[in-house]
Amino acid sequence: MSYLTIKHVDKVYPNGFCAVKDFNLEVDEHDFVVIVGPSGCGKSTMLRMISGLESITSGEMILEGKKINELSPKERDIAMVFQNYALYPHLSVYDNIGFSLLVRKKNRRLIHEKVMNASRIVEIDDHQLKRKPGQLSGGQRQRVALGRTIAREAKLFLMDEPLSNLDAKLRGDMRVEIIELWRKYNQTIIYVSHDQIEAMTMATKIVIMNKGVIEQVGAPNYVYNHPETLFAATFLGTPQINLISGKLDNGHFINEYFSIELPEYKNINNMEVLLGIRSENLSVVKEHEDFTVKVDYVEYLGSKSIVHAYLGETIIAVNTKENMKDIEECKVKMNISKIILFDKETSKAIRGDEL
Ligand code: ATP
């Protein structure tokens, strides 16, 4: 049995709005789960239900074999880091870190040990421990919030967009620190983000949500390469996956610009589809091209360039290392094994027969 099991969980708010529908998830011990999705898709609602701050309308949550639906946040032994840090402004940093131990009436020596240990891990020094949160920078406050969570030694750590208030540089640094903490201390973390890069770099398991529903769960690499829905395919990856409209018929993808043989789909006929292929699976070639595109502009990124071009009305992004200066047209070849086809009607990926 997994560490945390979430079964058929729904959330309907008192105004009748259904924010989460039939959420199912297995979290293993030492998993780093990242729930991602656009604003309003139900990520925070889900996290708050796990923490106990929000009630569950229906379904079950089981932590270490014990049903926790009806338990208060305190009884669940789950620690949560919020986006706005939620530090107590009138307390010193030291007391903030030790707060949950103080309210649990732990003895002073134990509290001191845990506060000092946690502050060492998150690199908060003795001077900073004496200050109030208002006298710290955003990044330092974020460390205090993490330190407070570490001092608690909870069964499960929940983090709701903890890095969203930080600038890009600090965000990158803190991301690395959180990953290191997780590796070192064997914690189990559920982390909410709307940032796909955070999800790809941190997660052992990624949960993509859309409009209250899970689109896909899996290892980041797997979901990136094998998206089950158009939403999952377009949510992960920069530039966004290329989508080319056409028809699947008799083992061929056909549109007005090109036709390619895809034998593993030979049993599907006359289906309107979108051909998905990521920019790194397209290459600029001199001959044997699959199609030709009209170059719109080239984005130089140092080690590579991305050619943004038109195939008819469709914008296509192609990675290349070639010098693409002053080029109006280019020939493009696809890595056919990386093509993902989506049924236009259902937006679901179509599986071909194994060859
Ligand atoms: P964000 O990334 O913007 O924080 P989110 O994915 O975390 O978004 P939630 O905060 O979980 O989204 O909200 C999900 C949906 O539920 C939203 O449409 C929101 O407006 C709605 N919602 C949240 N709280 C309530 C409430 N108390 N009553 C009614 N609807 C609510």
pLDDT tens for 55-81 read: 999 999 999 999 999 998 888 888 888
pLDDT at 76: 87
- Can you state the angle between helices 93-103 and 138-152, rounded to 10 degrees? 20
pLDDT at 183: 86
206 alpha carbon to ligand 1 midpoint, in Å?
Answer: 20
- Residue numbers of the chain with a pLDDT score lower than 50: none
0.85 exceeded by pTM: yes
The 3-state DSSP class for residue 143 equals helix
Report the mean per-residue pLDDT for the chain. 91
246 alpha carbon to ligand 1 midpoint, in Å?
Answer: 37
318 alpha carbon to ligand 1 midpoint, in Å?
Answer: 37
Distance CA 332, CA 96 (A): 58
pLDDT at 354: 55
Nearest to 190 by CA among 147, 224, 163, 161: 161
38 alpha carbon to ligand 1 midpoint, in Å?
Answer: 11
Mutate to test the pocket of ligand 1, among 12, 17, 211 (most ligand atoms within 8 A of CB): 17
Identify the residue whose C-alpha is closest to ligand 1 atom 7: 44
Asked if 319 contacts 277 with a C-beta cutoff of 8 angstroms, the reply is no
Nearest to 272 by CA among 248, 251, 254, 256: 248
Give phi and psi for 204, each to the nearest 5. -90, -25
User: Which two three-digit tokens encode residue 3?
Assistant: 């560490």
Q: Which atom of ligand 1 is nearest to the CA of 11?
A: 16
Nearest to 3 by CA among 28, 23, 33, 34: 28
